[in-house]
């Protein structure tokens, strides 16, 4: 745990800054809101009105049902080994085609945060993270389980996650509208630069080789532009296959690389098989008063860290959870308790990863820019439903936007119920051996891919990307940057073309427009930062540690 200590020093310094930013942000919004209300109709702020609309939408029976289905499936995936949220969302996308946009997106969102919630159950009970975001929970969660305190660990994890989810939802409601306002000012140049920044940030946070991650992004961008060119009508790289003139389906890419390739990797390692693992018994769920007292601080700090990491482009929940663990260990009076079942080590990271899972919807819903593989899939889902992702979603489809936000909060509440009283059901699922599980998963993927266009071509492509993904992972290339690039490819090309057309071919347009220039400078700084030997070393330490625990 040496690297933990080292990065702890660093964390402590930035944490104060983060708190200051959060406090300032809250104060600014309270102030702005106060002015707005004082000027206009009193006692009814815009946010309140919007949230009211959201809850009316989210509490409709259909939306409630799909929110529940999403959370349920998400938890199931979180508990089941060897299948992640990306593959599941890709698998279930075709099912949502028949639904109206709002319940479809509510369900997909539910799967995502449900999975980040449910992954903690296996971490605590069997010392195996159901999702990569719960690797940190294994450290102290499992030790608590060994001491017969699995129940309190699960309860605190659920409560922390619920608190974090609530804060995350409020933040989306607060930050969404002003960010969308800002995004309306964006022209083609700003959009292009923002995508560059998003992709660079994704690379910085990817583990492993920097060059390989960039090359994976470029590969994704290239694969993304396969198909008919919008401007000239020329079909690019279609090899005479008529299905390819519409482009490669992103569902096939996601299913292949995150579904089939993952399954082969799991079979190889046999790690995913939990049938032989030793289980911790769940006796009583109720945490003691002492547990509560110890957990309040970590939950609040973890939530703050998680919200920040969620909004930043390219970061994922693992980093949030890991930073929170490091921070708690640093702040603890007896750091030696960590690793031996300290409840702070469960409360903090669990809150952090759930907060990050919520707030990463902010850039998606306001700017139309995905920050990770799951968000890239959400963009795809929106496009299929005929919604162009971007700031106009909020103004043109307020019921969808606010309905989704309200449903996230409701979903978080459902998750507490799903995870605590029903824990014995999940334990049952945990005992299914992997060799029984994976053919079913593959079959669902096949049916899903086929029903995209009722054609076997998508099934073949999914298999092809599975093979590609397997080879790529053997050679140390991660699939997430590729999927991100894949979704952004056509958008980037279009905005680049438009920006250059407006500027009459002058590439300086990206530097003379202030917002665009600022984004490019941040992107350059990020790249420069990890090239510096000192920070590079730290990055490798943190990322390998969070991978390997």
Partner 1 sequence: MVKNKKDFYAGLMFMAIGGGFALGALKFPMGTAVRMGPAYFPTILGSITLILGLITAIRGFTTTGEDPAPFQWKPMLWIHGSVILFGLLVDPLHVGFCGAVIAMTIACAYGGYEFSWKEALIESLILLAICYTAFVYFLGLPFRVFPWS
> Which residues of the shown chain bind partner 1 in the complex (CB under 8 A)?
94-95, 98, 209, 211-212, 214-215, 218-219, 221-222, 225, 229, 231-232, 234, 236-237, 260, 263-264, 267-268, 270, 434-436, 438-440, 442-447, 450-451, 454-457, 459-460, 462-463, 466-467, 470-472, 474-477, 492-493, 496-497, 500-501, 504-505, 507
* Min dist. Cβ of residue 473 to partner 1 (A): 9
At closest approach, how far in Å is the CB of 57 from partner 1? 24
Bridge partners, 235 (sequence order): 228
d(C-alpha 318, C-alpha 306), whole Å? 10
Q: How many CB atoms lie within 10 A of CB 35?
A: 10
Dump the DSSP string for 449-472: HHHHHTSTHHHHHHHHHHHHHHHH
CA–CA separation, 132 vs 547, rounded Å?
A: 8
Output Rg (C-alpha) for the chain, integer angstroms.
23
Query: CA of 323: how far to CAs of 280, 298, 329, 478, in Å?
Result: 27, 12, 10, 22
- Rank residues 224 and 370 by Cβ distance to partner 1 and give the closer one: 224
Query: Which of residues 145 and 227 has its CB atom nearest to partner 1 in the complex?
Result: 227
Q: Distance between CA atoms of 141 and 125, rounded to whole angstroms?
A: 8
For the bound state, the minimum distance from the C-beta of residue 102 to partner 1, rounded and expressed in Å, comes to 19
In the complex with partner 1, the residue whose CB is nearer, 219 or 351, is 219
> How many helices (H) and strands (E) would you count in the chain?
25, 2
Work out how close the CB of 260 gets to partner 1 at its nearest, in angstroms, rounded to a whole number.
Answer: 6
Which residue's entry shows tokens 């089939």? 260
CB of 84 to partner 1, least distance (A): 17
Q: Which is nearer to partner 1, 108 or 444 (CB)?
A: 444
Rounded least distance, CB 458 to partner 1, Å:
8
Shortest distance, position 425 Cβ to partner 1, whole Å: 17
Separation of alpha carbons 498 and 513, rounded Å: 15
Give the shortest CB-370-to-partner 1 separation in angstroms.
Answer: 19
The residue among 41 and 211 lying less far from partner 1, judged by its C-beta, is 211
Helix (H) / strand (E) element for 228: namely strand 227-228
Tokens of 513: 């427009």
Q: Which helix (H) or strand (E) holds 8?
A: helix 2-39
Helices marked H in 127-149 — which ranges?
A: 135-146
For residues 337 and 99, the answer to whether their CB atoms sit within 8 Å is no
Q: Which C-beta is closer to partner 1: that of 28 or that of 456?
A: 456
Shortest spacing between CB 389 and partner 1, in angstroms: 21
Place of tokens 């703050």: 304
Beta bridge pairs of residue 227: 236
Residues 110/111/113/117 CA torsion (nearest 10 deg):
120
Using CA atoms in the order 50, 52, 55, 60, what is the torsion angle rounded to 10 degrees? Answer: -110
Nearer Cβ to partner 1 (165/479): 479
Closest to partner 1 by CB, 322 or 434: 434
Q: Closer CB to partner 1, residue 100 or residue 507?
A: 507
Q: CB-based burial of residue 186 (10 Å sphere; 0-12 exposed, 13-18 middle, 19+ buried)? A: buried
Shorter beta-carbon distance to partner 1: residue 96 or 134: 96
Query: How far apart, in whole angstroms, are the C-alpha atoms of residue 42 and residue 446?
Result: 56
User: Token pair of 205, please?
Assistant: 């946070």
DSSP 8-state code for residue 40: S
Nearest-approach distance from CB 228 to partner 1, in angstroms = 9
Shortest distance in whole angstroms from residue 249 CB to partner 1: 13
Q: Please identify, using beta-carbon distances, which residue of 337 and 498 lies nearer to partner 1.
A: 498
Dihedrals φ, ψ of 272, to 5°? -70, -15
């Amino acid at each position: 745990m040496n690297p933990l200590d080292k990065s702890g020093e660093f964390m402590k310094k930035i944490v104060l800054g983060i708190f200051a930013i959060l406090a300032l942000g809250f104060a600014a919004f309270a102030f702005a809101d106060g002015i707005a209300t004082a000027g206009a109709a009193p006692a009814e702020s815009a946010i309140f009105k919007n949230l009211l609309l959201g809850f009316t939408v989210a509490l409709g029976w259909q939306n409630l049902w799909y929110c529940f289905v999403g959370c349920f499936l998400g938890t199931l995936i979180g508990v089941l080994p060897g299948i992640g949220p990306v593959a599941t969302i890709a698998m279930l996308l075709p099912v949502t085609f028949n639904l109206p946009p709002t319940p479809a997106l509510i369900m997909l969102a539910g799967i995502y945060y449900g999975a980040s919630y449910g992954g903690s159950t296996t971490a605590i009970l069997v010392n195996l993270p159901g999702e990569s975001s719960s690797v940190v929970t294994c450290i102290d969660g499992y030790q608590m389980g060994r001491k017969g305190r699995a129940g309190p660990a699960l309860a605190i994890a659920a409560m922390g996650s619920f608190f974090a989810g609530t804060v995350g939802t409020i933040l989306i409601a607060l930050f969404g509208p002003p960010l969308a306002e800002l995004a309306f000012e964006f022209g083609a140049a700003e959009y292009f630069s923002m995508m560059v920044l998003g992709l660079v940030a994704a690379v910085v946070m990817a583990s492993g080789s920097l060059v390989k991650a960039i090359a994976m992004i470029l590969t994704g961008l290239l694969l993304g532009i396969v198909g008919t060119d919008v401007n000239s009508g020329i079909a690019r790289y279609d090899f005479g296959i008529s299905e390819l003139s519409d482009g490669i389906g992103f569902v096939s890419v996601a299913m292949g690389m995150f579904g089939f390739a993952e399954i082969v990797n799991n079979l190889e390692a046999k790690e995913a098989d939990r049938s032989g693992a030793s289980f911790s018994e769940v006796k009583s769920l109720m945490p003691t008063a002492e547990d509560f007292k110890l957990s309040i601080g970590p939950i609040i700090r973890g939530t703050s860290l998680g919200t920040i990491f969620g909004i930043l482009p390219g970061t994922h929940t693992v980093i949030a959870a890991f930073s929170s663990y490091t921070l708690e260990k640093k702040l603890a009076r007896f750091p030696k308790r960590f690793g031996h079942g300290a409840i702070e080590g469960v409360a903090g990271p669990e809150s952090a990863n759930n907060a990050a899972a919520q707030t990463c919807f902010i850039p998606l819903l306001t700017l139309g820019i995905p920050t990770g593989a799951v968000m890239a899939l959400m963009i795809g889902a929106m496009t299929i439903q005929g919604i162009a992702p971007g700031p106009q979603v909020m103004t043109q489809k307020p019921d969808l936007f606010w309905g989704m936000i309200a449903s996230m909060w409701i979903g978080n509440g459902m998750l507490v119920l799903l995870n605590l009283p029903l824990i014995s059901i999940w334990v049952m699922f945990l005992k299914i051996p992997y060799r029984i599980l994976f053919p079913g998963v593959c079959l669902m993927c096949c049916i899903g891919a086929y029903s995209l266009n009722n054609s076997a071509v998508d099934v073949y492509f999914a298999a092809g990307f599975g093979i590609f993904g397997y080879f790529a992972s053997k050679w140390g290339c991660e699939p997430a940057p590729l999927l991100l690039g894949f979704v952004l490819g056509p958008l980037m090309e279009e905005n680049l073309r438009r920006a250059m057309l407006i500027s009459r071919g002058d590439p300086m347009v990206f530097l003379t427009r202030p917002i665009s220039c600022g984004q490019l400078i941040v992107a350059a700084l990020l790249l420069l930062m990890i090239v510096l030997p000192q920070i590079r070393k730290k990055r490798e330490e943190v990322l390998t540690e969070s991978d390997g625990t």
